[in-house]
Amino acid sequence: MCTCGVEECDDIKLKTCTACKSVRYCGVKCQKNHRPEHKRACKKRAAELRDELLFTQPESSHLGDCPICMIPLPLGAEKSIMMTCCGKVVCLGCDHANAKREMNPLDVKCPFCRKPAPKMDEEMEENIMKRIEVNDPVAMREQGIEYYNKGDYSNAFEYYTKAAKLGDIEAHYELAWCYGLGHGVEEDAKKEIHHLEEAAIGGHPIARYNLGLYKESNGRIERAIKHWIIAANLGHDASIKELKREYAGGAISKENFASSLRAHQAAADATKSPQREAAEEYYRRWGQNRC
């Protein structure tokens, strides 16, 4: 039922308040009339809903699974690689195993789509632009990183924004950096935190770790610990170190700290495989890195 007493029927479709989700309106006029009375309660309930979403433990990190071996991708950019031909991010283990299977190293194919691997930087750039043309958010974000590394912050911000709108979690994290440092956009602390939160909700452990540091600096230790527990449960090493420090100071119970230690180890173990260990050993031995 609408706040004015109108009931929903075939001719009248009520719309729910997008902020608090707790009241319904029959029209814009009705919503405006109710606004003065509803404003405070709406803001409070919206904040509660945001907190529920923010502090929900994600099932996995924002990286998801390797599309080939279907094992969770490990944290760390050096442990996976993006295929510019199809935009898929595969673990180093699958990439290395694929290279070993190829009879001719000059004809290495993508381990996912099987297209020939690009042999020159120009070909890689062309592949990325093709992916961008079909609205691939991963390619957009990678192009943004390329611009950022060259110091072209305006173009980097543009590509990050497009990728974030298409749901790329890493792009939200990159946007937080842009707003925090004023790179390509005016400095804005609120927007920096907003994008860190969006990244954290999507399972980005580093974004959540940074939120924990921010909350700690503002004296909100309980919220900082919540962030670090969630990040540690995703396998984030720095967060478990922060929890260890807080445990030593008595801010976290022995039971909660032990639970986080177990979850952290389980998350790390879930990313391991013989193929990945073989790849790490190979690149460590030869001092190479495909990434």
One DSSP character per residue, 70-132 reads: -SBPPSSGGGEEE-TTT--EEEHHHHHHHHHH-SSGGG-B-TTT-PBPP-SHHHHHHHHHHHH
> Which pLDDT score is estimated for 1?
64
Q: How many of the other CB atoms lie within 10 Å of CB of 196?
A: 26
Nearest in space to 267 (alpha carbons), one of 223, 237, 243, 222: 237
217, burial (CB in 10 Å: exposed 0-12, middle 13-18, buried 19+): exposed
Q: How far is 148 from 68, CA to CA, in rounded Å?
A: 30
pLDDT digit string (tens) for 63-112?
999 999 999 999 988 899 999 889 899 999 999 998 888 766 557 788 99
Whether the Cβ atoms of residue 232 and residue 239 lie closer than 8 Å to each other: yes
pTM of the model: 0.87
CB under 8 Å to 108, separation ≥6 — which residues? Answer: 98, 99, 102, 116, 117
pLDDT of 32 above 90: no
Across the range 227-253, mean pLDDT stands at: 97
Backbone angles phi, psi at 109, to 5 degrees: -110, 160
Whether the Cβ atoms of residue 85 and residue 127 lie closer than 8 Å to each other: yes
**Positive/negative CA dihedral, 211, 212, 214, 215:** positive
